[in-house]
Amino acid sequence: MIPPRAMPPARVPDVTKLVPIAVPTIFPIGDVWAFLWMGEPLTLIDTGVDTEEGRAALFEGLRQSGVAPGDLRRIIVTHHHLDHVGMVHRLAALSGAEVCGHPEVALQRRLGYAYDEAHRRYYTGLMEELGVPPEVLDEIMLNWGALKPMIADFEITHPLPDACTIGPFAVYHVPGHSATDVLLVNAEDGYTITGDHLLEKVNPNPMLRRPPPGEARAQCMVEYEASLRRSRALELGLCFPSHGKPFDEHRRVADAILAQHERRNERILARIGAEGFSPYEASKALYPRQRVPDTFLCLSVATGQLELLESRGVLGSQRREGVLRYFKREDRG
């Protein structure tokens, strides 16, 4: 375990070697930051989505720093989501750079983005279990594989387990938003690259995810709150998130995310009746105006909140006619 290294509070972070490059994405959240670390070895942290617009922005950002893609010697990924790893395969082929990330990045990318028949069966069955009506599920699945053309294989050549270091960065595994999130803490220079684990303006909602064969599905919100409490206890200095502006006082940001979780819990408990809630019904209670394209995100949030309440002993769950339902403990029958 790497002990939290104190950062003197009066110190101005030294970010002279860190070059943020804004890369457009196809997602509502907008641009993602790739970070060029101008040290030895020359390192790129995250890559953006592999679209023509994304490639143009990243390559121009590199060029403005006097760097060609082939000059890279190390690529680090903060987690396996598409807007962070989309160009890893291309840049690794151009440069021969080592590819670094959590040991399960390649596995989780395949589980999350396979879009083959096994992938379709799993998520169809999961959404049925969580109470999504057939007509909504049919509409969701019409566009289920839309991202497949953007997915390319790559492997992690330098795994980054929890409590390791790489270059100037201490690595902390903080699962929740995804299974593979890591913080990259540069204590010497007084800053941290937080990926999507901590975002100031957006809640980094944990998404429902397909487990490895033989394993149970993770309770992602429970996992995320444990990770938030871990990162809250660390000294992170100035934080560079993957989306939005840098921020300090990371405990304030963590507390705001935890507080939003509690507000959601209160809304669920105020609306749940004796008949209980399926996760889909809870998602409609939280987001009554949700559109079908947003169903999976809303369902992920609602399922996470219900699992969080169950982990605290406030709710219990049962399967009824194949659908998972949650009840207040006193109403469970």
Residues 185 and 52 in one domain: yes
Give domain status of residue 139, yes or no. Answer: no
Residues 228 and 283 in one domain: no
Burial status of residue 51 (CB atoms within 10 A of its CB: 0-12, 13-18, 19 or more): middle
Q: What is the predicted pLDDT for the residue at 332?
A: 53
Nearest to 24 by CA among 47, 1, 6: 47
Q: Which residues contact 24 (CB under 8 A, 6 or more apart)?
A: 30, 31, 48, 49, 51, 53, 54, 57
Question: Is residue 6 very low, low, confident or very high in pLDDT (cuts 50, 70, 90)?
Answer: very low
Residues 103 and 68 in one domain: yes
Give domain status of residue 6, yes or no. Answer: no
- What is the domain-level CATH number for residue 227? 3.60.15.10
Residues 63 and 165 in one domain: yes
207, pLDDT greater than 80: yes
Nearest to 268 by CA among 287, 295, 255, 254: 287
Give domain status of residue 135, yes or no. Answer: no
Q: What is the predicted pLDDT for the residue at 329?
A: 86
Share of the chain above pLDDT 70, in %: 96
The residue out of 202, 224, 259 marking a domain boundary is 259
For the stretch 38-82, pLDDT in tens is 999 999 999 999 999 999 999 999 999 999 999 999 999 999 999
For the stretch 102-151, pLDDT in tens is 999 999 999 999 999 999 999 999 999 999 999 999 999 999 999 998 99
Q: Is residue 64 left, alpha or beta, with left meaning phi > 0 and alpha meaning psi from -120 to 50?
A: alpha
Give domain status of residue 221, yes or no. Answer: yes
**Facing residues of 170 across strands?**
165, 185
Q: What is the predicted pLDDT for the residue at 190?
A: 97
Q: Give yes or no for a contact between 251 and 195, defined as CB atoms under 8 angstroms apart.
A: no
Q: What is the predicted pLDDT for the residue at 330?
A: 74
Instruction: Scan for tokens 């190390």, then name that residue.
Output: 74
Residues 251 and 286 in one domain: no
Q: Note down the domain range covering 202.
A: 18-115+151-259
Neighbours of 120 (CB within 10 A): 14
Residues 227 and 206 in one domain: yes
For the stretch 146-200, pLDDT in tens is 999 899 999 999 999 999 999 999 999 999 999 999 999 999 999 999 999 999 9
Number of domains in the chain: 2
Residues 204 and 288 in one domain: no
Single pTM value for the model: 0.94
Give domain status of residue 4, yes or no. Answer: no
The residue out of 229, 259, 289 marking a domain boundary is 259
Residues 171 and 26 in one domain: yes
Give domain status of residue 1, yes or no. Answer: no
Residues 207 and 171 in one domain: yes
- What is the domain-level CATH number for residue 287? 1.10.10.10
Give domain status of residue 255, yes or no. Answer: yes
CA 7 to chain centre: 26
Residues 243 and 304 in one domain: no
Residues 158 and 223 in one domain: yes
For the stretch 255-293, pLDDT in tens is 999 999 999 999 999 999 999 999 999 999 999 999 999
**Facing residues of 43 across strands?**
37, 74
Q: What is the predicted pLDDT for the residue at 9?
A: 47
Tell me the residue ranges of DSSP E strands in 103-162.
158-159
Residues 29 and 91 in one domain: yes
Give domain status of residue 223, yes or no. Answer: yes
Q: What is the predicted pLDDT for the residue at 8?
A: 46
Largest CA distance in the chain: 67
331, pLDDT greater than 80: no
The residue out of 259, 292, 321 marking a domain boundary is 259
